[in-house]
Structure formats: C-alpha cells, structure tokens
Amino acid sequence: MSDLPKSIEIHEEGPREGFQIEPGPISTADKIAFIDALSETGLQEIQIASFVNPKRVPGWADAEEVVSGVKMRDGVRYTGLWLNEKGLLRALDAEGLTLKGSISNVTSEAFMIRNTNRDKAQNRTVQINQIETYKKHGIPMYRGGVMAAFGCNFEGEIPVSRVLESIEEIMDIAAETESPVKVISLADTMGWATPMSIKQVVGAVRERWPELKIALHLHDTRGMGIANVYAGLEMGVELFDSSVAGLGGCPFAGSHGKPAAGNVCTEDIVFMCAEMGIETGVDLERLIDVAEMAERIVGHDLPGSVKRGGSLDKLRASIH
C-alpha cells in the first residue's frame, strides 16, 4: 500500500529549541537533569546546546556549563548549534559534543535577507567560508539544509523547481569544496507544508538525487506536523528532527498573541511509528515521562498529544 521504512532515526532538538524560546529563566541544573533523562530514552542524537550570542539568546548563556554537566551516555550523540565561527569555536571547546558540518540555503531570497541579512550571492560566500572553517578544525561535512522548502511567509508559494535549485546550489558548493553532503534536510520553516506538498517535494528530490538521504524538519504551526511526518514515511524518509513535548512551541500564545510554532513532537512521532511497526529505538513510556518533566520545568503545558492521551501499550497492559 505504501513504502514505509522499517526504521527511522530521530534527531531530538527539544533542549536547544525549548530553552531558547521559553521565557524562563530555566536553571542550568534543570537543563542538565532534563538532557540526562532524555539520554535514557533510546534517542541516538540530541541537540543539547546553542552556542549563540548570549545577548541575543540569554536562555543559552550557560551552554558550556550545560554541556560539561551532562552525563554523556555511550551510544548517544550530543550535538550543538552555532551560527558563526565564534560559536563553532565555543562548541569545539565543549568536551563530548559530536560536531557535524552543515551548510544552509533558503528557497526564498526575501526570507534569507530578512532572516540573515544576506542575499543569495553573499550566502554562497558565507557557506563556502563555513566549509573552510570545518576543514580547518577537522569537522566532517554532514548536512545541507534547505529552509522554506514548502512555502514562505514573505514570498508565498515555493515551486518544487526552486527547491531543486536550492539543493543544486548546495551540491555545487559541496563539489567545489570537495565536501560532499550526506543528508539533505528539507525544512518547513514557516509551517506551509501539507502531506501533499511533502510528497511532491520529497518525490522530486528523490528522483533527481536517488542516492541522497533526506531529512524532514517540520513545524506544527497549523496542525499538519504528524500528517506531514506520515507523508514523509510513505515516501520512505528515514530521518526526522523533532522536539520532545513539542518544546519550542507554546499552545498558550494562541489567538491572544503571536503564535509560537514548535517543531513536531517527538513522542507523537515515536507513538505513531511504534503503532505502525516502524522501529525508532526509543522507549515511549520513558519519553512520555521526559515530556512531562519538560512541562514541569517550563511551568506550563506543552503541545504534544500522546503525553495527554497516554500510550496504547499502557492500556494494553492494563487489559490482560
């Protein structure tokens, strides 16, 4: 009936996303305890810190302290985010992190200019310089990311051809610098995707670059998150970014303020996959406990559904 993968990998971004957006302040000890708990769920990769300007993102001023406090567990890759060489140098100094090179492109120049104050030509130069920095520090190239791959608040519809063009530009840079990317990440940065556009875009990328691994980075702005994951699964996508409890979003912003759009929720993905026989390696009950822990730490409810509805395995166990 469809082409569902046997297993998928989840890159957990909850700590980095959540502690960045929450008004907080959230204590360093809480962040460490939370990451330690996440490490026990079976997740293979967790983004645990953001090395960005603490004046712009005060929630991550303690990035180094958090990383040094985490009990690094064997078999889990701990990653960090940086946006420039200064951040990268901080990440290099933070012991225990797995550093992966990535470069990024945007389908929409209007959004690129608004978001990074660069036009396409300038972005190309920045990305090439980025790769040179990776080389200098021995960081292997990993991911090419395409933002606004499904639509843009500033340009509107993004034709599939434009997504292919953006990937083409990444591939050119990768070839020029002899730094091939292993994964192309398609990001629904502003929550425009539907299951149909997921299938169209993923299908077109796959047809053009059959050897490339595709990752989906989906936001749940308009409630399409899990349906979009499902559409991705049907297209054979095996790699998803997500946030436990939907950290990074806030259901209370609501119609009364600017809505905060979170990533699609990790435990909801894990639940859907488990029920459909797709292996994630994650222990759902433990992950639900961590999602509830996230709510206690941030002090309010978070978007995820399965932590409210409960797992079915728990129900099954109660029946017999």
The tokens for 252 are: 């209370």
The single residue of 152, 250, 265, 273 carrying the catalytic annotation is 250
The tokens for 254 are: 């609501």
Between 248 and 287, how does the x/- string for binding to a second copy read (CB under 8 A)? ---xxxxx---x-x---x--x--xx--xxx----------
The tokens for 312 are: 């079915």
Smallest distance, Å, CB 55 to a second copy?
Answer: 30
Task: State residue 193 phi and psi, 5-degree precision.
Answer: -70, 150
Of residues 77 and 222, the one with the C-beta less far from a second copy: 222
Report whether 94 contacts 60 (CB < 8 A).
no
Of residues 124 and 307, the one with the C-beta less far from a second copy: 307
- Cα angle 262, 13, 283; round to 5: 105
Of residues 59 and 232, the one with the C-beta less far from a second copy: 232
d(Cα 291, Cα 289) in Å, to the nearest integer? 5
Q: Is the dihedral of CA 250, 270, 78, 174 positive or negative?
A: negative
Of residues 127 and 228, the one with the C-beta less far from a second copy: 228
d(Cα 156, Cα 59) in Å, to the nearest integer? 32
Closest CA to 130 of 146, 141, 120, 119: 141
Of residues 130 and 197, the one with the C-beta less far from a second copy: 197
Residues in the chain: 320
Smallest distance, Å, CB 81 to a second copy?
Answer: 24
- Confirm whether 152 is a catalytic residue: no
Residue from 23, 25, 159, 203 that binds a second copy (CB under 8 A)? Answer: 203
Q: Three-class SS of residue 14? A: helix
Residue 175 engages a second copy in binding (rule: CB under 8 A): no
Between 4 and 33, how does the x/- string for binding to a second copy read (CB under 8 A)? x-----------------------------
Q: Which of residues 121-160 bind a second copy (CB under 8 A)?
A: 151, 153-157
In angstroms, what CA-CA distances link 251 with 161, 248, 255?
Answer: 34, 10, 10
Residue 206 engages a second copy in binding (rule: CB under 8 A): no
Packed helices 120-136 and 109-116: angle between N→C axes, nearest 10 degrees: 60
Q: Which of residues 180-199 bind a second copy (CB under 8 A)?
A: 191-192, 194-197, 199
Residues contributing to the site for a second copy (CB under 8 A): 1-2, 4, 151, 153-157, 191-192, 194-197, 199-200, 203, 220-224, 226-227, 229-231, 251-255, 259, 261, 265, 268, 271-272, 275-277, 292, 295, 301, 304-310, 312, 315-316, 319-320
Q: Mind telling me the catalytic residues? A: 250
